[in-house]
Amino acid sequence: MKRVLLKISYDGTNYHGWQVQPNAVTVQEVLQESLYKVLGNKPSVTGCSRTDAGVHANEFYCHLDCDDKIPETAFLKGLNSVLPNDIVVKECREVANDFHARYSAKGKEYVYNTFLEENQNPFYLRYALPLRRPIDLDRANAFCVSIVGTHDFLPFSSSGRTVTDTVRTVNYCEIRKNGDFTSLYISADGFLYNMVRIIVGTALEVSMGRLSPDCAEEIFKTGDRALAGPTVSPNALFLNKVFY
């Protein structure tokens, strides 16, 4: 029996997130069904994260155990041939049996894209949030800097979270121009349910002058979700990197 690590990329538009769940199509479910077509059995696949419905992944890792003897290059080609076009396996390699796609990860980076409505493009709406006016980078980044470090991010999460430990360490958080997009980049040792989308929503409120750039201090102090910004839409969010 060997443990195989898959590096995949997917467009999350048509999926209800990564994890298998009843009455909804998920990336994990489709991947496991495709593995059955290649291997003749349906191995359990463990992902590095639980992306929400509609969220995309430039880089996502998952592992599985199998006794398959197909060479990795042939396995990769065969699996991609049966997967839908919105899920692609980019790499396949054998790893140590104690490697775990989720628990071996040291951190992750997410990216959230926005664009100005005046820069109309038929493809942008699927992957970015339209804004009526430019982000005030000075104000928004002052807020972003204030959440870097180890904090209890309970007020920056939604009630659907499944964990009790809500302390996380943010390594960096920055908003910068990226062509027609203005994007928030954030890396942390872990993320809570809707954490990035609420951080983005708060940064946008700061940019528009509805919240102070130093609002995070009071939000962390009180733990009051109502003091933070709204939860922005999922379609503009990408899991961008996983660090091992």
Distance of CA 31 to the CA centre of its chain: 18
Token pair listed for 148: 């870097």
Identify the bridge partners of residue 57 per DSSP, sorted by sequence position: 10, 239
CA pseudo-torsion sign 30, 27, 113, 243: negative
52 classed as catalytic: yes
Catalytic residue among 52, 67, 68, 98: 52
Give the span between the Cα atoms of 146 and 141, in whole angstroms: 8
Give the span between the Cα atoms of 235 and 238, in whole angstroms: 8
Is residue 180 classed as helix, strand or coil in its secondary structure?
coil
Q: Which residues contact 221 (CB under 8 A, 6 or more apart)?
A: none
Torsion over CA of 86, 79, 238 and 146, rounded to 10 degrees? 170
**Number of Cβ atoms within 10 Å of the Cβ of 169:** 14
Give the span between the Cα atoms of 56 and 61, in whole angstroms: 13
Give the span between the Cα atoms of 217 and 211, in whole angstroms: 12
Q: Which residues contact 113 (CB under 8 A, 6 or more apart)?
A: 127, 128, 129, 178, 181, 182, 183, 236, 238
Q: Which amino acid is at 59?
A: E
Catalytic residues: 52
